[in-house]
Amino acid sequence: MNEDVISKVSKKINKAEYQIKNVINLLSEGATIPFIARYRKEVTGNLNEEELREIATEYNYAVNLQARKDDVKRLIAEKGMLTPELIKAIDEATKLSEVEDIYTPFKEKRKTKGTEAIKMGLEPLAKIIMMLPNKTREEVAEDYLNEQVKTVDDAMLHAGYIIADWISDKPKYRKYIRNYYWYNGVVRGKIKKNAEDPNKVYEIYYDFEQKITNMKPHQTLAIARAEKEKVITYNLSVDSKKVLEYLHNEVIGNKKSPLVSDMENYIEDAWKRLLEPSLERDIKNELYDKASEFGINEFGNNLENLLLTPPIKGQVVMGFDPAFRTGCKLAALSPTGEVLEIGVIYPHEPKKEVDMAEKIMLALIQKHGIKIIAIGNGTASRESEAFVANLIKKYNLDVKYVIVSEAGASVYSASPLAKKEFPDYSVEQRSAVSIGRRLQDTLSELVKIDPKSIGVGLYQHDLKQKELDEELGFVVSKVVNKVGVDLNNASESILSYVSGLSKSIIKKILDYRKKNGVIKSREELKVVENNAKAFEQSAGFLRIFDGDNPLDKTNIHPEDYAVVSKILADNNIDVAKVGTDYMKEKIDALNKSEVMNKYDISEEKWDLIKNNLVNGVIDPRDEIKQMTLRSDILTIDDLELGMSLEGTVRNVTAFGAFVDIGLHDDALVHISKMSKDFISHPSEILKVGDIINVYICGIEKEKNRVSLSLIAE
């Protein structure tokens, strides 16, 4: 472990060195982030998953940075050009880009005008010119004329290419100009001649100008996409006069030299031909990197909140996959998600068999005691909503419905996993099952789908895909382990996100369940996994209900069972009463300090043990408000300015949040309508899945657009 790296990371992210050392040690020993976050709080100083991941990321970056610094110093030393000043500059660099800037002058160059001029033997002349002697062009160039360089003008021109390379490569100049460019440059967008943008998606970028420092991440992603789709041209610019003035002051020492005019030309060439396009690329890349990082974090936050949607427990549900021509597919599901019956109805055009559709729906509702209908939000969704609402009203049914996002349902339905799960069903029938199950347990269903297909991010195809995959995978793993998994009902998909489980161990678990029915205890799981490290990392996240040991349904880790049993036995407390008022009364009567001292356990460990003994099954989703269930439709004609409604947040972006209030399209709460106080991002107030009260502040019927506010006018 590199102590210097530890120190630097500690200062950068404001975490104690012991925390970083302990986290890196645990990770190197095979511990997972979810395991460390829950069961090693006393070692890490109570760090959460995001903080642990930040430590891992920053430490790895710092290690790679140090390795590159050492490599660059070695490469420069091999050329016999490593000086104390260079060593100091390399050691003080905080970014890989800074190290590369320092190394640039020492790299083997590709073919340039400057390298060709060096082959002509003009490097000594370039060095003389850089000194700006009190000599004329003819006096400095005459000794360098030959078959290739026939005139003084030729010599001065080509020597200037060498000097332009030197100016462009100097780290000091690049660093200064890059900073100046970043803080003073502007982004410009112009519509291209004959551009095709029929829906005027990119209209605000047709004639766009914005300071680089004021660019919002979504603007950067949008303008880059608009350029990619050949709608606009996108470039950066800066005041060249100021840049040239800086270079003149730095490069031209002897302002009385007859060569000043030539040097000014070389400086301009270095700027226009080399520095400006290079730095524009660098800053465009930096803008994109920042925007992509922002977009990925936003996507991750939205996904996490969606996955934490509270399940609808103990209800028979109907999944309703809307369609016109091919009919609406229905799936009646038991409270545990088992398929009870599949059906299809044709209430819409072209068949419009409304009476028959009503009869089939009524029969299914009455036969299976269906209480909630989950309607997918795709094609024919609102027409299907009108049909369902009318059915409920017409027959006075004790049934509610909810519109469910079906993003990714078609991806799942056509996947090998869905075919394996429902080999005899059509794609649409599988989709109806998925929609119903999303209502019953959003997490268990959505883990079957590539997170990028779930549709809670903007510009997701423009983001860095590798980093996006890593972030979304981390989010899903974090949520799955935070919620916990019912070991005897868990699918292969959800088990793949459990801490410590590999494909081979998951196969062992599934094969054992298939052969033996159920796993009765975590102790039995230890035998099934036959891997001590895997058991340590996974056991606390795998719950066993109605098993041999009441502690197996809690988040208490088996490594602590002995001390928990001792505490309960010493205080005459029945372990079978986990999660009851009896347990709460008994545990609350214990003295925290005495328990910690007597049984030699940390405060963090006792808090975990106590919470789980008192509460039994801890599910963070239980703290979240349930989604709104409806029995009647809402149209834009029903709305009035100032009206108050309840809605569900479907997506959160940098400029606002989209809210389902029961209309065909989600309505927008702009960031300016969220609070009377300044907020920098909507996520400070709202998250995906929130059930909120909103006020109608704008109605555009011709565009079927509604604007909302969180502030009562």
Query: Tens digit of pLDDT for each residue in 551-568?
Result: 999 999 999 999 999 999
How much helix, strand and coil, in percent to the nearest 5, is found in the chain?
Answer: 55, 10, 30
For residue 380, is it left (φ>0), alpha (ψ between -120 and 50) or beta? left
CA within 13 Å, CB half, 62: 22
Is the model's pLDDT at 704 over the cut of 90? no
Distance CA 648, CA 303 (A): 15
Distance CA 647, CA 403 (A): 11
**133 with 140: CB under 8 angstroms?**
yes
Is the model's pLDDT at 166 over the cut of 80? yes
- Helix, strand, or coil (residue 155): helix
Cβ-based neighbour number of residue 256 at 10 Å: 7
Give the model confidence (pLDDT) of 203-213 as tens digits.
999 999 999 99
pLDDT-derived band at 639, boundaries 50, 70, 90: confident
pLDDT-derived band at 284, boundaries 50, 70, 90: very high
Question: Tokens 């009476």 belong to which residue?
Answer: 355
Is the model's pLDDT at 633 over the cut of 80? no
Write down how long the chain is: 713
Is the model's pLDDT at 445 over the cut of 90? yes
Is the model's pLDDT at 713 over the cut of 80? no
Q: Which residues contact 153 (CB under 8 A, 6 or more apart)?
A: none
Distance CA 436, CA 329 (A): 11
**540 with 555: CB under 8 angstroms?**
yes
Is the model's pLDDT at 691 over the cut of 90? no
Q: Which of 97-111, 418-432, 648-662 has the highest mean pLDDT?
A: 418-432
Distances in Å between the Cα of 36 and the Cα atoms of 14, 79, 572 are 19, 47, 32
Give the model confidence (pLDDT) of 315-334 as tens digits.
999 999 999 999 999 999 99
pTM for the full predicted model: 0.86
Whether the bond between 350 and the residue before it is cis, its omega within 30 degrees of 0, is yes
Is the model's pLDDT at 436 over the cut of 80? yes
Phi and psi at residue 667, to the nearest 5°: -95, 155
**330 with 347: CB under 8 angstroms?**
no
Diameter of the chain by CA atoms? 105
Distance CA 529, CA 526 (A): 5
Give the model confidence (pLDDT) of 560-606 as tens digits.
999 999 999 999 999 999 999 999 999 999 999 999 999 999 999 99
| 433-459 mean pLDDT | 89
pLDDT-derived band at 78, boundaries 50, 70, 90: very high
- Helix, strand, or coil (residue 201): coil
Give the model confidence (pLDDT) of 4-60 as tens digits.
899 999 999 999 999 999 999 999 999 999 999 999 999 999 999 999 999 999 999
Structure tokens at 265: 């030309």
Write out the H or E segment, with its range, that includes residue 285.
helix 276-307
| 516-538 mean pLDDT | 96
| 423-452 mean pLDDT | 93
Is the model's pLDDT at 423 over the cut of 90? yes
pLDDT of residue 554: 97
Q: Which residues contact 383 (CB under 8 A, 6 or more apart)?
A: 322, 324, 347, 348
Sheet holding 317-321, edge to edge: 339-345, 328-333, 317-321, 372-376, 400-404
Distance CA 677, CA 596 (A): 45
pLDDT of residue 455: 75
What percentage of the chain reaches a pLDDT higher than 90? 81
pLDDT-derived band at 634, boundaries 50, 70, 90: confident
Give the model confidence (pLDDT) of 344-385 as tens digits.
999 999 999 999 999 999 999 999 999 999 999 888 998 999
pLDDT of residue 411: 86
- Helix, strand, or coil (residue 237): strand
**298 with 653: CB under 8 angstroms?**
yes
Give me the chain's average pLDDT, please.
93
Distances in Å between the Cα of 380 and the Cα atoms of 332, 377, 404 are 20, 8, 13
